[in-house]
Structure 1
Amino acid sequence: MTANVALLLSAIDRHLLDDYQHNFPLDPQPFATIAEQLGTDEAKVIERLEYLQRIGALSRVGPVLRPNRVGASTLAALAVPAGRIEAVAAQVSAFPEVNHNYER
C-alpha cells in the first residue's frame, strides 16, 4: 500500500484491514458482526470493503487456506510472451481462487 493510499483510509478502513485479516468472524452474518464490533452498520462495512478494493488496498475478502492443513495446493507457472503479460495476468487474477500472481 502506498503512502497516498494510506492517506485515504478512515478509522473504520484501518480496523477492517488490521483487525480482520486473521480474525474474521466465522458466523452466518460476519459483516453484521464486524459492524457491531466497530459501532457502525452492516451496509457501512460492506461499503468500506468495496472502497478498499477499488483503491487497491484490499484484493479480496475470502479465506486463505493452509495447504498443509487442507491437504492440497497448486502452484502453476505460465510461459507468456512479454507483450501479453499484463493481459494474461489480469485474466488469471480474475479467478477468486488465485491468491498470488506475479512475474519471475
Structure 2
Amino acid sequence: MNDNDSNPALALAQIYEGSFDFIDSATNRRHRLTVNANLDIMIDNKQLPGQIVGVTRDALTFIDHFGYHLIVRCTGGIPETIYDEAEDETYAIIYPEAEDEATDD
C-alpha cells in the first residue's frame, strides 16, 4: 500500500503534478507553472506562498497569501487551463511535446 492509497487527495493531485507552460497575453511572455509531488506551486521556478484548498478530477485550487485563487482546470484527466484570479485571466496550457510535434511536420 502506498501513501496515495490512504490519501485520495494526493492520488487526485497526481493528475496535476508536472510543469505547464502558458503565455501571458498582456506581456506576450511565456511562463511555466509547476506543481510538485508535495503540491507546492511554482511559477518560473519561484515558489508561490499559499496553499492548496481543493483537489478534484476537474480542478486544483490554490489560494495565495493575498487571498487570490489560482485554478488549474482539467478535462478528461489532462490539465488544460490556468485561471489567475489576481489578473482575472484564463491561460491555455501549452504542452512542449505537442508544440515540438507541430513543428516537426
TM bucket, shorter chain: under 0.3
Taking structure 2 as the reference length, the TM-score comes to: 0.27
- How high is the TM-score relative to the length of structure 1? 0.27
Larger radius of gyration: 1
Structure with greater proportional strand content = 2
Which structure shows the higher helix fraction? 1
